[in-house]
Amino acid sequence: MTDRVLLVTGASRGIGEATARRAAGAGFRVALVARRQESVAGLAAELGADRALALGADVAEWEAVSGAVEETVRRFGRLDAAFANAGIGMGTSFFGDGGTDPAQWRDMVLTNVAGAALTARAALPALAGSGGHLLLTGSVAGRYLRKGSLYSATKWAVTGLAGAIREEAVGTGVRVTLVQPGVTDTDILDEELRKKPKLAADDIARAVLYALEQPPSVDVNEILVRPTGQER
Q: Which residues are the active-site residues?
A: 151
Tell me which DSSP letter residue 180 carries: E
**CB count, 10 Å around CB of 113?**
20
CA 215/CA 103 separation, integer angstroms: 45
Closest to 84 in 3D by CA, of 113, 109, 48, 44: 113
DSSP state of 77: S
Comparing CA positions, the residue from 51, 42, 2 lying closest to residue 26 is 2
- Of 107, 199, 194, 223, residue with least CA distance to 154: 107
Rounded to whole angstroms, the Cα distance separating 147 from 149 reads: 6
Closest CA to 206 of 14, 23, 73, 9: 23
